[in-house]
Amino acid sequence: MNTWSVVVLIIGIATFAVGLLFKFLSDKTAEKLCEHAIEIKASVKRIEILERQADVIQNELTHINRKLDELLRYNKRK
């Protein structure tokens, strides 16, 4: 083998190794991004549920407040 064949062979092996390294890193990064996206969706869903519960609680408290106001007005009339 002449010198240039050895140089090309070494460069080819190095390029292959770097390609495998980048493939491994990109797969791990894609997995982490997918897991993170799933966590974000779950968190958004929890927030939506909590917002609905807060609206229901606020509605119930408003209703109770109206009833208490009616009772106070009724007791003042007596």
- pLDDT class of 1 with cuts at 50, 70, 90: low
Res 45: pLDDT: 94
- pLDDT class of 27 with cuts at 50, 70, 90: confident
Q: Residues with Cβ < 8 Å from 1, sequence gap 6 or more?
A: 9
pLDDT of 48 higher than 80? yes
Res 31: pLDDT: 82
Q: How far is CA 11 from CA 1, 8, 63, in A?
A: 15, 5, 77
Residue 64 CA to chain centroid, in angstroms? 37
